[in-house]
Every structure is written in C-alpha cells, then in structure tokens.
Structure 1
Amino acid sequence: MTSPYQRQLQEKIDRISAQFAAYNPPALQVFESPEQHYRMRAEFRIWHIENDLFYAMFERSAEGKQKKVIRVDEFPIADQGINSLMPKLLAAIKAVPVLAERLFEVGFLATLSGEMLVSFIYHRKLDLDWEQAARALGEQLDISIIGRSRGQKLVVGNDFVVEKLNVQGREFVYKQVEGSFTQPNAQVCQHMLDWACSVAGRSDKDLLELYCGNGNFSLPLSLRFSKVLATELAKSSVHAAEWNIEQNQIDNIQVARLSAEEFTQAYHGEREFRRLQEARIDLKTYDFDTVFVDPPRAGIDDDTLKLLQGFERIIYISCNPDTLHDNLTTLSQTHRITQFALFDQFPYTHHIESGVLLEKI
C-alpha cells in the first residue's frame, strides 16, 4: 500500500514534470527523503500552564485567524537525536526554576555526527545564575547552549555545530552557525552534493559559484575544477565558508564577499570593489567554463541571468520551481536542460527543491 509520503512525493513529481515539459528536459531524477527523522532543525514554543510547561506548536483554524495550541511530546520528522533529547531537556528545565522562568522558545540544531546546539529565548534579562545553571545543564546533557533575550546573547559552549557529510567517498566537515542558513535535511543534502558533483564532471578550467553560503557545495565541487571563486554577501556565511575551507584542507577556493549583482558589475569592469582587493582576488586570473547557482526563493536578477548566458555550463539548484521556470525563459535562449532532478528536502510540504544542468546550445 502506498504511504502518505509516497503519494505526496508523486504529486510533486507530477507537478514539476508538467511545469517544465515545455523545456523538453530529460527524464527526472528523484531523490527521496527518509519518511521520518530527517529534519536537523526544530523550534518549539514553551507553553506555561499553572505549574507545568511543555513544547508547543500552533495550528491555525479553518478561517486562518485563531491558533490552537498543540502539545508536542515527540516530533517524528526531526532527527532522532532531537527526539531523544527533548524529554530529558524538558525535565531538566522544569527542575531548575532559573532556566524555566519566562522561557519563551527552544530551538534545536543537530548533526548526523551527533553534535547538538540548543537555543533558549526568554522574555527576561539573563544573569549569572542563569549562566551557571545553563553551564551545568550543558555538561549534564553534553550540548552547547545559547541564551537569548532582548539585547543579550550568552553562549555556553559553541554557537555552532560541526556537521560531517559524505560526498562521493570523501567526508567533508561544515561549521553550521546558529541562526545562519543550513540545509535542514542533511541526508537529502548529501544527495544534492553527489548530484552536483556528478553532473559537473571534471574540468581543467574554473568554477564560478554565486550565493555560496557556508560553502556547502563549494567544498566537494572544488575537487572537480582547477579553481573555484565563490561569492556570498552575508559576513557570517563568509566566515563559516572560510573556516570550512581551512578545516577541509582545500587550497583552490577563494571567497569574495559580493552579492551576485555586485559580482556581475565587477566581472564586466563596471565597478571596482575594495573587498576584492583586500581578499587578493584578481578576476583576470580565472578561466571559467561553469557557473553554479543556488539563489534565494526570488530567483536570479536580470543582469545576472545575462551573465550566466555567457558560460558553457550552468548548474542551477532551486528552492522555488516557479522562479526557476521564469529564469529559464531567459536561459533557454542560449542553453538546454541536459540533467533534471528533484530533491525532496521538505517532505509533507508543498516545497520542491530541484536542480538542472544547462549546457550551451
């Protein structure tokens, strides 16, 4: 009998196949998610009632106005480590009043390698008593803790976890900073990285990567090219990417703190950026034949699309098939889809993560 997950996945397959049929793509490759314990992040409100408290989420009414409080004792879509920790953490919080007082929200960030970071958000100022109690809790449960309230951030342990992902026979380590974007479904993320490396093949030329984040794709793709220039605007992501490059002992990646729009201006010689000079990046030393893009949901701006049209190959990972479809209106003028994939990062939701390899006509 077909499971609810398989039925919903088939709906996604049917939708994206129909949506992109006009571009005549090859057969769709489908990368499924585990049906349970796939999500490496989870956030819960802490609901206080009389002398008790519990994890809570909210369900909107049919009219979309009122919210119903749903008690959460277990969360099957979350990583098994999160589920194992949830009751232990709640019991420990209840036993220590300074940890429970005006606690508003708890967030979990886990890794496949077993590390755990827990963030606590409060509606009160945190003091030394809280910090001492949090330190004892961290030692008891072997976790790092971040306490937040208005204008405060107290870190007990680390404000990041280190994930380990296996891609085509090699292990890569990634610093994942609390509050920064990371792929929530680590097992599907490994499929995405494998797919990107497979379609990239091997080149004696260079790769341009736009929107590199913490270097999630940059690290494994660097083994496929002579050099990689990766761009990212967010400082925290740039710092994480640089840490990841160093920890993985990769020496052919440079990271430029530029937006995609800024890189386009620099590449065409329309603007000079001190950030490039300070990082000792000389665009003239690169010989690109491939560009990798993983843009935000809004897709790619018109000027950057025109830039992409000049590359022999485009590897495009998309978290929004609608904007990918729109962007292909431009890119299909110069390129054709030669690889097409669906990655089910977000089971039981309507969200679709997809990938295309575009090669020049």
Structure 2
Amino acid sequence: MSRPQFDPATYAAQLDEKKQRLIELLAPFAAPAPEVFESPREHYRLRAEFRLWREGEDRHYAMFEAGDKHTPILLDDFPIASARINELMPRLKAAWQASKVLSFKLFQVEFLTTLAGDALITLCYHRPLDAAWQAEAEKLAAELQVSLVGRSRGKRLVIGRDHALEALQVAGRTYRYRQPEGAFTQPNGEVCQKMLGWAFEALGERDDDLLELYCGNGNFTLPLATRVRKVLATEISKSSVNAALANLDDNGIDNVTLVRLSAEELTEALNEVRPFRRLAGIDLKSYEFGSVFVDPPRAGMDPDTCELTRRFGRILYISCNPETLAANIAQLSDTHKVTRCALFDQFPYTHHMEAGVLLERR
C-alpha cells in the first residue's frame, strides 16, 4: 500500500480539481453538473494494511511511495485511517514486541473496521501457525476486543468472527452488513453512506424489477431492493455471494434472487447463448426489468455487458474509474442520455475518485 499525500489544508482544492476533471470527461455527453459528496478530512478510511519493517529486534508499521519497495516510511499512526485503527495500532505493536510467538515471521498486518465500531485484524506470516500461536492470539483478541485472523501459506485460523459487522443509514433505515475478511468492502464508510443514499434516490420508487451486476456483499442491493418489485443480482466471488445472502437474511429482505455468475455469463444467459446450471429454477422471462444497476471493477463493463445494459430504460452506474465510465457512456450515448451525475470523494488526497450517473433512454 502506497502512502497518500495527507494534507487537510489542500482538501477543498483537490476536490474541486476532481470535480473539474469529471465535468471534462462527461462534457461530450451533455451531462448535468455533478452533485459533489465530500469526505471527512481525516479518519475516513476503514481499511488499512501495512507491511512490517524490521530494524534489529523491532518491527515497525511501514508504507512505501509508489514504485519504491526499498525505502520504508515508518509509521506510529495513520491519520487517514479510522480512529479505531489508530487506537489499535500502538496496542498491537506493543503486543508483538512483547511476544516472540506473535512476532516470529510476521510480515503484514491488515485492519478492517466499521462505522458501527467493530474491528477485525489479520496477521500474515511466513511460517505455519501452531497451538502456541493460537493461545497467544486468543489472549490478544480478548485484550483488544477484536476478531483476529492468522494467515500463513494455505492456512487461515480465525479467532472470533471472520467478518466485521457494519451498520449503514439510508433514508432513515439502518442496514446491517457482514463484511468478510479478505473480501472487497467500500473503504470510506461516510462516503459509502452518501453513495447509497444517492443511488436510492436516483433509482426512485419503482413498480418493476431491477437487474444488478457486480453486487458484491449486497452493499447497494439491500437499500435498492426496497425500491422495486424484485431484484435479480449477480456476483462471481463466492465469499461475497455468501456474505450477500447472509446480509439479505439479516435484514429481512426477501425479494432478491442472487446468482453466482459473472456479468459476462449473465449476458450469455439473457441472450440465450447457453444455459447455466446456477440458473436452474429461475425464470428469467418472469422479470420485468425497468432498470439495471452496475458497479463494475476499474476496467468498467466489457463491450457485451455494455450492450446488454442498453436494453434497459434506465442504467444506474457507479464507477471507481471515470475514464472507463466515459468509455462505456460513449458506447451507450446513441440510445441513452446522462440525466444525473455525482462525484463521491472516496479517496481524498489521491487522484482516484468515484462517480455515479443515471442514464435514461432517449
């Protein structure tokens, strides 16, 4: 993980720069001015991972500038990370400094925290983990009041839960999420809530059905499902699918059918190119899709999936890469126009930004 250039005094200027960049990217499509959703200036990042750098008998949290893996930046705290991570960092370090069992061959530490106050720590080792390690780790987890995961090659030992518990507020309702260790979660919780609220409002109250691609752990699925008759959602990651199913059950949402397929495979299924056993018992023709929601990886939608979304009257698109978003919009612009646009500052002090658009059929 490279170190961002943290300077709260520059926040307003860097956010305006991102806004102008998004406006320029979407100008060819006559997009309206973006709604801008700010981040907290510090303690906004709920996830963090650190390599450990050894000096003598001591190990220190370390990060590196992009492209330089040989010059460590040693850290005692990390202002962009959540207050919970900053509270845990010195206590965890003191624990491994005091215990050879915990520190031996330890090379990486990962923190996952939530707005709800939960925390999960992953310790990564270049050695097998044994009963002595587990006994020490159990004491440490109890002392820090966290769940703890130990990882070594091909092995994982879990103390407590293998997921963190989150609670997010959308339109006056609290949605509860299990966020699995090692799976993707939105790093900026406060901005994530704003994204969910914007998507909820942009979708609106509907009397038809929603297709969702790349649903992850159900982050958007839960609130959006309350706006439509029913949802067909897809995700390829098995751990994310399992988390999404648990999250749907935990929140009492029963109008979602979730299928473990890639977006490309679902495109083939809807085009009747070939059947899929995972769709057995699901009548695709029973759905009356009025909208499609997509939150693809940085590469954006592949051309065939992009063509699939053209079928729908409304395309709600969340993007972590506005360049590929613009390329996808270019493919769709002859049939759809951008009617809403938003900038979500998930990653302050970096060039990365999250954007959202609503495209509606011309």
| 2:9 aligned to which of 3, 13, 17 | 3
Q: Kindly state the Cα deviation for residue 138 of structure 1 after the two structures are TM-superposed.
A: 0.5
Which residue does 2:324 correspond to in 1? 323
Q: Quick one: distance in 2 between partners of 1:352 and 1:141?
A: 33
The yes-or-no answer on 1:349 pairing with 2:355 is no
Q: Quick one: distance in 2 between partners of 1:125 and 1:310?
A: 52
The yes-or-no answer on 1:20 pairing with 2:26 is yes
TM-score by length of 1: 0.96
Q: Quick one: distance in 2 between partners of 1:96 and 1:260?
A: 47
Q: Quick one: distance in 2 between partners of 1:182 and 1:93?
A: 27
**Alignment-mate amino acid for residue 23 of structure 1:** F
Which residue does 1:249 correspond to in 2? 252
Given the superposition, is the C-alpha separation of residues 322 and 145 from structure 1 closer, same or farther in structure 2, using an over 3 Å criterion? same
The yes-or-no answer on 1:264 pairing with 2:270 is no
Q: Kindly state the Cα deviation for residue 51 of structure 1 after the two structures are TM-superposed.
A: 2.6
Which residue does 1:147 correspond to in 2? 150
**Alignment-mate amino acid for residue 157 of structure 2:** L
The yes-or-no answer on 1:209 pairing with 2:212 is yes
Which residue does 1:179 correspond to in 2? 182
Aligned Cα RMSD in Å? 1.2
Q: Kindly state the Cα deviation for residue 45 of structure 1 after the two structures are TM-superposed.
A: 1.3
**Alignment-mate amino acid for residue 14 of structure 2:** Q
**Alignment-mate amino acid for residue 167 of structure 1:** V
Which residue does 1:51 correspond to in 2? 57
Given the superposition, is the C-alpha separation of residues 67 and 272 from structure 1 closer, same or farther in structure 2, using an over 3 Å criterion? same
Q: Kindly state the Cα deviation for residue 215 of structure 1 after the two structures are TM-superposed.
A: 0.7
**Alignment-mate amino acid for residue 251 of structure 2:** N
Which residue does 2:341 correspond to in 1? 340
Aligned length: 355
Q: Quick one: distance in 2 between partners of 1:83 and 1:305?
A: 42
Q: Quick one: distance in 2 between partners of 1:193 and 1:174?
A: 13
Do the aligned residues in 2 keep the contact of 1:256 with 1:281 (CA within 8 Å)?
no
Which residue does 2:5 correspond to in 1? none
Q: Kindly state the Cα deviation for residue 65 of structure 1 after the two structures are TM-superposed.
A: 5.3
Q: Kindly state the Cα deviation for residue 302 of structure 1 after the two structures are TM-superposed.
A: 1.4
Q: Partner of 2:121: helix, strand, or coil?
A: strand
Q: Kindly state the Cα deviation for residue 66 of structure 1 after the two structures are TM-superposed.
A: 6.2
Q: Quick one: distance in 1 between partners of 2:218 and 2:358?
A: 19
Q: Quick one: distance in 2 between partners of 1:272 and 1:35?
A: 49
Equivalences for residues 249-328 of structure 1 within 5 A: 249-277=252-280, 280-328=281-329
Given the superposition, is the C-alpha separation of residues 187 and 66 from structure 1 closer, same or farther in structure 2, using an over 3 Å criterion? closer
Q: Kindly state the Cα deviation for residue 152 of structure 1 after the two structures are TM-superposed.
A: 1.6
**Alignment-mate amino acid for residue 50 of structure 1:** G
Q: Kindly state the Cα deviation for residue 67 of structure 1 after the two structures are TM-superposed.
A: 3.0
Segments of structure 1 that go 5 or more residues without pairing to the other structure are none
Cα deviation code 1:140-198 (max 9, x no counterpart): 11111111111221111111111110011000011111111110001100000000010
Do the aligned residues in 2 keep the contact of 1:336 with 1:359 (CA within 8 Å)?
yes
Segments of structure 2 that go 5 or more residues without pairing to the other structure are 1-7
Which residue does 1:96 correspond to in 2? 99
Cα deviation code 1:280-327 (max 9, x no counterpart): 321121110000000111111111111111111000111111111111
Which residue does 2:128 correspond to in 1? 125
Identity among equivalent positions (%) equals: 55
